[in-house]
Chains A and B, each alone.
Chain A
Amino acid sequence: MVYVIIKELSPSADEVIIVTSSLMKDMTSKTDMYRANAIRVLCQITDGTLLTQIERYLKQAIVDKNPVVASAALVSGIHLLQTNPEIVKRWSNEVQEAVQSRAALVQFHALALLHQIRQNDRLAVNKLVSSLTRGSVRSPLAQCLLIRYTSQVIRESASNTQTGDRPFYDFLEGCLRHKAEMVIFEAARAITELNGVTSRELTPAITVLQLFLSSTKPVLRFAAVRTLNKVAMTHPIAVTNCNIDMESLISDQNRSIATLAITTLLKTGNESSVDRLMKQITTFMSDIADEFKIVVIEAIRSLCLKFPLKHRSLMNFLSNILREEGGFEYKKAIVDSIVILIRDIPEAKESGLLHLCEFIEDCEFTYLSTQILHFLGIEGPKTSDPSKYIRYIYNRVHLENATVRAGAVSTLAKFGAMVDSLKPRIFVLLRRCLFDTDDEVRDRATLYLNTLGADGAVEDMKEFLFGSLDIPLEPSEESFDINSVPKEVKIQPLAEKKAPGKKPTGLGGPPPSPPSTIDAYEKLLSSIPEFANFGKLFKSSAPVELTEAETEYAVNVVKHIFDGHVVFQYNCTNTIPEQLLENVTVIVDASEAEEFAEVASKPLRSLPYDSPGQTFVAFEKPEGVPAVGKFSNMLRFIVKEVDPSTGEAEDDGVEDEYQLEELEVVAADYMLKVGVSNFRNAWESMVPDCERVDEYDLGPRENLAEAVNAVINLLGMQPCEGTEVVPSNSRSHTCLLSGVYIGNVKVLVRLQFGIDGPKDVAMKLAVRSEDEAVS
């Protein structure tokens, strides 16, 4: 008993010399219990120096005949490994001997300690595991440990498992038939958690888990359902056999088990079982607590996204439960799910919006009401009959608190701005809001009335009212000048929005799919007024470097091809911290490109250190003709010295020029890479008289793959059906390419390559397109 008290108090070693000396005497006493407990206490209160003194006794204790003493020493060793690893590592011989011990738990503890000691040495762990899987392991706990170490070994040797079974898989499978349930379960769990496990490997594990599902012990049922839930996320088909057992678990006494069963069924269900599941879930929802309900809602959401045709019944279910009692988090989860469904399933939009409107009539959470009103403002005007929603929104203006009223006013104004036919009615409603008691509501109503009522510059107005104002105003000494607010939208915010957003965020978050680069370029170019009337962007090339790496100014160019124009976007980065560049332009010499005429150039006002900026030059070219040419470029700017400590620039600067590399516009730039899934069909469907065939000799090349890649890059078309991969050592190869040429002409190319003895490559090119001239 005294030992327990000492352990609780855990004094530091230098305070209690007396205690430690008597404990040390106890360690060598005849009574085993005293020895064991003394060891445990000493190891807890000891420090490094004392440890070296008692090390001899500890080593003896590990291989002691009495299992209690041995276990005590080993467990203390495991704890000491955290603080004094070098000392404990010296005991590995004794520990190794203990692993062979016949006492069950000594083996368990010794195995744990040995693994901890050797855990960084992969080979040693491997040896340990192989020797024990063949030997005999006496206690179920040790067996469980061994299973865990085995799966660790499998995971680390995962790189070379192309052939057949993994190592030790048979051992794991054998454990599925062990006597002790904990071993069976541990083995099943280990199998399901293997990397890249196949259905064949999973089957025995799942069969065992299925048996557990119908056990009388709640713990077994829980363990099995939880593991099956995890498996269902990656291999839903493998779990479908257990569906029947899981359905009976829905009414289980233990609510955790029931929730897990339902969520698993939702993941593995197919379309026909969805209706049946919905019925069962409705009765079930009233029984469970809020946190479980949120889990179920999320499962229902993913189910609806998987089966969009079922949206009606699932949407009805969601709106029904929205009406019932529930906490804020729960209702927010439901609203988020409905919003995501509306966004992703267009047919569900009308019913979804109506459900949301009915909800805000009763909603007690201001936050949710305002979010829904905001969302209505975005989606409502796009529907076929927006006037339906106006009644709901206007009711909010009368009946709710100030925050909701303000939100409702904004929404009404959005409807008015987007839908011209409703404008007069909206004005009437907004005028009534001018008499509201709250300041914010009156302010907003006045603002909207004045701006929407005025004529002209409608686009700008909308952007100003409803767009997001990116750059916050900074407090400054000078009076505010509206012209100084930059009109260009920086590219950075777009890039940031792409990164997070893996999980759909429902209301108010960025749109679920990241904008593709083409869209980003389109937005950027159309936001620049000079380029806005060039028409639709046909293709943007990948960035081409115009400077070498590690130079003072890094510049790359992106070529944007329009129908009648070409725009070069130069992305410049200043890598010199002591310089600030202003008025950056690119002088392009187009003397070698006769068909091009420079139309516009947009300079970059300022380029500070390490923040990339863009400058543009636009050329006009004859429409429809794929003109080619070479352009030489020079970067011209005013350079100002910057004091690195303060970051301020001097007032006067020097004009300077910097030569860049040349730029070529080639035929490949006019070709969009568009894949075709069935090349053969497309080839047949094209008329043979638009076909041109030619043979070329490509000269000596390293190998066939290099020749194929070079031709693909030259033509700028998309390889189909995996034909760009050339098997090594092949003498000939056929490559299929497809693309869309400017003017929206589909082109298909069939290339046949052959390689001769002295690495001479010959190529036969057959082109088919919709337009003969293009071929």
Chain B
Amino acid sequence: ESCPSIKNILLLDSEGNRVAVKYYSDEWPNNSVKEAFEKSLFTKTQKTNARTEAEIAMFESHIIVYKFVQDLHFFVTGAENENELILVTVLQGFFDAVGLLLRGTVDKKEALENLDLILLCLDEIVDGGIILETDANVIAGKVASHSIDAAAALSEQTISQALATAREHLARSLLK
């Protein structure tokens, strides 16, 4: 009897290439194995339609739930005997949190530009396989409070946020 655990969360693009992935299990020991897994998983699920509802499949004795939006494919993997509905809750949390963070435009370009947000998001959902949080609002809040931190040094912010802060400062100084 163990805690429900997640094996990996993957975010691939519409050709099966990586955008952001995180593995929590030792079943894929090195990078080539991981990439092979991602490729075969992608080909298997390519033809199905997972845009309206989350879909589910069994693959290599794992259970995978997945959802597609625009040109991004979200996958969550669990063990064979895991409760599938828990996996779907995690998937939905991740999916909605990314939607909130990317302010509604969920596609590959936005994702790559805000890769740091996505990686933080992954970090806040699952820690070492154990589910930390499934509510999308809470996740997005945690990620947002990480990045837009007034006390943080300028170098720790991303370029876009630095530009945003600079713009704000500029606007304020202009108004003065």
A residues apposed to B, CB below 8 Å: 1-4, 7, 31, 33, 40, 44, 68, 71-72, 75-76, 78-79, 105, 108-109, 112, 115-116, 140-141, 144-145, 148-149, 151-152, 181-182, 185-186, 189, 216-220, 222-223, 226, 253-254, 256
Contact = CB atoms under 8 A, between A and B. Distances in A.
A4 B120 contact: yes
B133 to A, nearest CB: 6
B interface, over-half SS = mixed
Contact of B128 (A79, A105, A112): A79
Contact of A112 (B3, B120, B142): B3
Contacts of A256: 56-58
B146 A219 contact: no
Contacts of A76: 127
Contacts, number: 100
Nearest to A71: B132
B48 interface: yes
8 contacts: A75-B127, A115-B1, A144-B83, A144-B86, A145-B4, A217-B54, A219-B55, A254-B57
Contacts of A78: 3, 130
Given A72-B127, A253-B49, 6 more contacts: A4-B120, A33-B145, A182-B85, A218-B54, A226-B84, A254-B48
Interface in B79-100: 83-86, 88-89
Contacts of B54: 217-219
A222 B56 contact: yes
B147 interface: yes
Nearest to B147: A1
Lowest 4 A-B CB distances belong to which pairs?
A182-B85, A223-B84, A152-B1, A112-B3
A141 B56 contact: no
Given A75-B132, A151-B1, A68 B142 contact: yes
B142 A33 contact: yes
A44 B127 CA distance: 10
B30 to A, nearest CB: 15
A219 B88 CA distance: 8
Contacts of A226: 84
Nearest to A3: B123
A173 B140 CA distance: 36
B134 interface: yes
Contacts of A79: 127-128, 130
Q: Which of B2, B53, B123, B132 has the most CB of A within 10 A?
A: B132
B162 interface: no
A185 B83 contact: yes
Given A112-B130, A219-B84, A254-B48, A182 B119 contact: no
Contacts of A217: 53-54
A256 B119 CA distance: 32
A223 B83 CA distance: 8
A112 B58 CA distance: 27
A145 B58 CA distance: 23
B4 to A, nearest CB: 7
B127 A1 contact: no
B133 A105 contact: yes
Contacts of A1: 116, 119-120, 146-147, 156
Nearest to A139: B134
Contacts of A116: 3
Contacts of B89: 140, 182
B126 to A, nearest CB: 10
A496 B88 CA distance: 48
B56 A182 contact: no
Sort chain B's interface into a size bin. 35 or more
Interface in B124-174: 127-128, 130-134, 142, 145-147, 151, 156
A218 B65 CA distance: 10
Contacts of B58: 256
Contacts of B84: 185, 219, 222-223, 226
Contacts of A182: 83, 85-86, 88-89
Contacts of A222: 56, 84
Nearest to B151: A31
A189 B83 contact: yes
A141 B86 contact: yes
Interface of B: 1-4, 48-49, 53-58, 65, 83-86, 88-89, 116, 119-120, 123, 127-128, 130-134, 142, 145-147, 151, 156
Nearest to A216: B53
B101 to A, nearest CB: 14
A98 to B, nearest CB: 15
Contacts of A218: 53-56
Q: Which of A1, A7, A31, A115 has the most CB of B within 10 A?
A: A1
Contacts of A151: 1
A176 to B, nearest CB: 14
Contacts of A68: 142
A218 B49 CA distance: 11
Nearest to B127: A75
B92 to A, nearest CB: 10
Contacts of A44: 128
B4 A141 contact: yes
B128 A144 contact: no
A40 B56 contact: no
Given A149-B1, A219-B55, A256-B57, A40 B48 contact: no
Nearest to B84: A223
B59 to A, nearest CB: 9
B121 to A, nearest CB: 11
Contacts of B131: 108, 141
Given A4-B120, A33-B146, A144-B4, A219 B127 contact: no
A734 to B, nearest CB: 50
B127 A40 contact: yes
Contacts of B123: 3-4, 7
B57 to A, nearest CB: 6
A361 B131 CA distance: 57
Contacts of A185: 83-85
A145 B48 CA distance: 32
A5 to B, nearest CB: 10
Contacts of A189: 83
B130 A75 contact: yes
Contacts of B85: 181-182, 185-186, 219-220, 223
Contacts of A4: 119-120, 123
Contacts of B145: 33
A635 to B, nearest CB: 56
A294 B130 CA distance: 35
Contacts of A181: 85
Contacts of B83: 144, 182, 185-186, 189, 223
A705 to B, nearest CB: 42
Contacts of A40: 127
A186 B145 CA distance: 34
Contacts of B2: 148
A3 B120 CA distance: 10
A148 B133 contact: no
Contacts of A7: 123
A157 to B, nearest CB: 14
B1 A253 contact: no
Nearest to A223: B84
A226 B83 CA distance: 11
Contacts of B120: 1, 4
Contacts of B142: 33, 68
A2 B156 contact: yes
A105 B132 contact: yes
A257 to B, nearest CB: 8
Nearest to A189: B83
A481 B89 CA distance: 75
A183 to B, nearest CB: 9
A400 B156 CA distance: 73
B24 to A, nearest CB: 11
A592 B1 CA distance: 67
